[in-house]
Amino acid sequence: MPRTVVITGSTSGIGLGIARAFAEDGANVVINGFGPPSAIEAAVADLAALTSGKVIHHPADMTRPDEIEDMISTTSRTFGTVDVLVNNAGIQHVAKIEDFPPEKWDQLIAILLSSAFHTMRHTIPLMKAAGPKRPGGRIINIASAHGLVASPFKSAYVAAKHGIMGLTRTAALELALDNITVNAICPGFVLTPLVEKQIPDQAREKGISEAQVKDEVLLRLQATKEFVGIEEVAAAALYLASDAARSITGTHISVDGGWTAQ
């Protein structure tokens, strides 16, 4: 029986990379996120070609608890359960606290933090019902180096990412006797659309070139001076979902090129 994996925000970037890794591992994959219908159809077809399991897309908006509930119940109806839940959907907004639009604050907290609470509260009963089979249930929260340290002008993002670290640890303790592990992955900068969108704005604001934004702003604290690869984050997720990682719970794996070693 293939395992069933739900990955929020997986029509792009890190989420799509994680979907690819689980598809290559033979899982049923539920992708989620926005994008042009043709691009989503193409992503589903690409993933389906990698796995002996099935692939579906669910369009739930991670700011909408009712749609999140429908995503998990649709998965349960289609595949019987959820074995692996990856909370990954995310957006960014960069502004001083006094200029930060309150509706942007609410949107970031909803997508980056509250959505994980909602996916988890609907998924945990399904995972508990699966009982002692191995590997057990796996919840993987894609946090960030910003779950461990801060940067200026990213108040909502840093607050939400610190929040998800706390949610990860709390859930791990609640589920420790239920054959379910809960962990976070804390990537440094990965060159995805989320990061690429920030580069022209930062270049304009700081009056420097886009190449300088990459080297002097984004990679300033990444000791390796290289962006993290999407496939490196995906490999960490696949490992946390493996039976070998069954004693790893309530913690995180940093994939940040040495950023938080400083």
- Residues assigned a catalytic role: 157
CB nearer ligand NAD, residue 50 or residue 111: 111
Distance of CA 93 to the CA centre of its chain: 17
Rounded least distance, CB 130 to ligand NAD, Å: 25
Residues that bind ligand NAD (CB under 6 A): 9-15, 32-35, 61-63, 88-91, 111-112, 142, 144, 187, 189-190, 192-195
How far apart are CB 186 and ligand NAD at their closest, in Å?
7
Cα(79)–Cα(76) distance, rounded to whole angstroms? Answer: 5
Task: Tokens 């704005």: give the residue.
Answer: 201
Among all residues, whose Cβ is closest to ligand NAD?
A: 13
Between 136 and 221, name the residue whose CB sits nearer to ligand NAD: 221
Tell me the closest approach of the beta carbon of residue 189 to ligand NAD, in angstroms. Answer: 4
Question: What are the residue ranges of helices labelled H in the chain?
Answer: 13-24, 37-50, 65-79, 102-109, 115-129, 155-175, 193-196, 198-206, 210-212, 230-240
CB 108 to ligand NAD: min, Å: 9
Q: Which residues of 112-127 are buried (b: 16+ CB within 10 A; e: fewer)?
A: bbbbbbbbbebbbebb
Q: Residue 91 or 248: which CB sits closer to ligand NAD?
A: 91
The nearer residue to ligand NAD, 136 or 228, going by C-beta atoms, is 228
Owner of token pair 């994008």: 35
Structure tokens at 246: 């069954």
